[in-house]
Structure 1
Amino acid sequence: MSNLHNTIEYINSLSQSDPRELIDRSEQRFKNIIRDVSDKVENDSGLQIVMLAGPSASGKTTTAQKLAEEFTRRGMKTYRVSLDDFYLDRTDIPGYSEGNPDYETVFALDLPLIEKCLNSLLRGETTVMPTFDFVSGKRKDESYEITLGKSDAIVVEGLHALNPIITDKLPHERILKIYISVSSRIYDENNKIILNKRNMRFIRRMVRDYNFRGSSVENTYELWDNVRSGEDKYLFPYSGLADMRINSVHLSEPCLFKDTALSLLRDADLDGERAKDAARLIRALEKFNSISTEMVPETSLLREFLG
Structure 2
Amino acid sequence: MIRKRTLRHFIVFVSVSGPICIVLFHQTSTRSFLKDSCMCNCAMDSEGRSWFSQRYKPSANVTLNRKNGLLDFHTYWWWKSLQNESVVANYTQVVEVMFSLFPDKDHYTDSSPSRCRTCAVVGNSGNLVGSRYGALIDSQDFVIRMNEGPTKGFERDVGSKTTHRVIYPESAVDMGVTTHLVLLPFKILDLQWLISIFTTKHIDLTYMYVKPSIIADRNMVMILHPAFIKYVYDSWLQGHGEYPSTGFISVIFALHVCDEVSVFGFGPTKDGVWDHYFEDFKSDPNEGPHDGDFEGKVISQLHQKHRIMLYKGW
Q: TM-score range by the shorter chain?
A: under 0.3
- The TM-score, its normalising length taken from structure 2, stands at 0.24
Structure label with greater radius of gyration? 2
Larger helix proportion, structure 1 or 2?
1
